[in-house]
Amino acid sequence: MLISVRSWNRIMDIKVRIVNINQLGGSFKMERRKFIQQTSLLALATLAGSVHAAAANKKKPVILVVSGWQDVNIGDITHTPGLLTLLKQKLPNAKVILWKKSDSEQVDNMLHKYFPDLRIVHGKFDKSFTLQSEELKQVFLEADFFIHGSGPSVVGADNIRCWRHHTKKSYGIFGVTIQEIPNDLKELLLQASFIFTRETASVDVLRKNGLAGDHISFAPDATFVLDINDNKKANAFLNENRLEARKFICAIPRLRYTPYYKWASHAGWTDQRIKEVEAVNEKYKETDHAKLREAMIAWVRKTGNKVLVCPEMTYQVDIMEELLIDPLPADVKPFVIKRGYWLPDEAASVYAKAHTILSFECHSPIIAAANGTPAFYLRQPTDTIKGQMYYDLGFENWVFEIDNTGGGQIADKLMQVYDNYPVALQTVDKAIEMVNKRYDLSFDFIKKNYKIFS
């Protein structure tokens, strides 16, 4: 409690009375001065202590974040630690609770390793939005604000609906792609406190659907601020395979359509849909990957350095040899190393030591950039508008629209990066500076409009 006006006045009155005793003379005057000094210091200390106590007792704002869409994809996993790091940096006075959609003990343990105080909940709800756990009910009462985390779309739309069903508290959407807006989603978007999309293409989609305002803007994918590294595991792998820092490239394959039907959690695909997806993948897999192989061959033959073939998703472990290793010439194969599925902290540490990343997947280049490494995005036309983020951030020379690109073009650009590596590193630095400016603008908006975060 702050010192009262009445108490302060009593202290001042004592000082005045002592001052009036001057006529008592010499020796007492020294005692009087000392007493005045001590009394004043005591009053100020009491006031300061009360202020600090009041600040310490002030309730920290609590943010409930829904994220963690799936654990078979290091790209999807990285959304979560990226956003957690960003919230910690930009809203340091807030407490964050993670409502994690996927349930993986391995990933949960990884998150706790880097965020030891993080509370993770996995509560479910039914079709009528009835909460299925007491823990989730308590979290809904405790949280002051709800944020939908970075991702491929508004994946947690039902989580937002559940939040709205039980509370009148605000919510925002951070770092997502919005490619289509059906009516039920539009209703959610209209009530959002902010919508920050991870590329400008989504902002255009929102505008065309009648959604605009200063609460809508471009805030890059939260993976760009990823700050987790397993250097111990990465260094052991690099040493075992004699991969020297900045002397190897990484190559990441991808089919035109991700075969989600192979996982039980994505059951429900019709036989017709599976047949169509498999037909497209079969038609383009060799054409696409032959172009990446051409760059791999040029790298090995012109530099004498190695290539690490690695996955972003679990299924890619099974296609690496068929598409990127087996067809290579005999003189190149000995320079190629294969890596199994991994978690993003180890991948980040390996990418940080790589020379360049060449990836059909969208998030390995982001993880690389977050760690200061140049990266090429080989963009397939079946991928979403999320790829626009690379153009937005100044990476247009490192984006290859694969249907309009020859393998020689990728190889030539790779060797240009090799010959002018300091310039390439500066390109990465400039992009990350732009990312951070966009984050600053986004969080300035949040703090300006929601005083609990100030």
For 208-251, give the DSSP string: HTT--STTEEE---GGGG-----HHHHHHHHHHTT--TTSEEEE
C-alpha to C-alpha distance for 31 and 22, rounded to whole angstroms: 11
Q: How far, in whole angstroms, is CA 430 from its chain's centroid?
A: 19
Any idea what the Cα angle at residue 411 is, between residues 407 and 412, rounded to 5°? 115
C-alpha to C-alpha distance for 344 and 29, rounded to whole angstroms: 72
CB of 374 within 8 A of CB of 394?
no
Residue 34 pLDDT exceeds 50: no
Positions of E strands within 391-445: 399-401
**What is the pLDDT averaged over residues 44-53?**
40
Sequence-distant (6+) residues with CB within 8 A of 261 are 267, 269, 273, 274, 277
Token pair listed for 423: 């310039």
For 95-143, give the DSSP string: EEEEEESS--HHHHHHHHHH-TT-EEE---B-TT--B--HHHHHHHHH-
C-alpha to C-alpha distance for 219 and 439, rounded to whole angstroms: 6
C-alpha to C-alpha distance for 249 and 253, rounded to whole angstroms: 13
pLDDT of residue 266: 61
Residue 58 pLDDT exceeds 80: no
pLDDT of residue 5: 37
Query: Taking the chain, what is the end-to-end CA distance rounded to the nearest angstrom?
Result: 22
The residue ranking higher by pLDDT, 11 or 203, is 203
Token pair listed for 54: 């009041």
Residue 216 pLDDT exceeds 60: yes
pTM: 0.86
Residue 447 pLDDT exceeds 70: yes
Residue 95 pLDDT exceeds 80: yes
pLDDT band at residue 264 under the 50/70/90 scheme: low
Residue 372 pLDDT exceeds 60: yes
Any idea what the Cα angle at residue 76 is, between residues 72 and 78, rounded to 5°? 115
C-alpha to C-alpha distance for 150 and 450, rounded to whole angstroms: 20
C-alpha to C-alpha distance for 316 and 280, rounded to whole angstroms: 16
pLDDT of residue 265: 59
Among all chains, which residue has been given the structure tokens 């508008």?
Answer: 385
pLDDT of residue 20: 42
C-alpha to C-alpha distance for 380 and 288, rounded to whole angstroms: 8
Please state, rounded to an integer, the average pLDDT across all residues of the chain: 89
Residue 17 pLDDT exceeds 70: no
pLDDT band at residue 70 under the 50/70/90 scheme: confident
Q: Which CATH number fits domain 62-225+437-453: 3.30.420.40, 3.30.200.20, 3.40.50.2000, 3.40.630.30?
A: 3.40.50.2000
pLDDT of residue 262: 86
DSSP state of 59: P
pLDDT of residue 277: 96
The DSSP H or E segment spanning 66 is strand 62-67
CATH 3.40.50.2000 domain residues, the chain: 62-225+437-453, 231-419
pLDDT of residue 422: 98
pLDDT of residue 23: 41
Most distant CA pair in the chain: distance in Å? 107
Token pair listed for 267: 């059951």
Considering the segment(s) 231-419 as one domain, its CATH architecture is 3-Layer(aba) Sandwich (3.40)
Token pair listed for 132: 């299925």
The residue ranking higher by pLDDT, 49 or 447, is 447
Tens digit of pLDDT for each residue in 380-432? 999 999 999 999 999 999 999 999 999 999 999 999 999 999 999 999 999 99
- Residue 176's DSSP bridge partners are 151, 197
Residue 111 pLDDT exceeds 60: yes
Tens digit of pLDDT for each residue in 297-346? 999 999 999 999 999 999 999 999 999 999 999 999 999 999 999 999 99
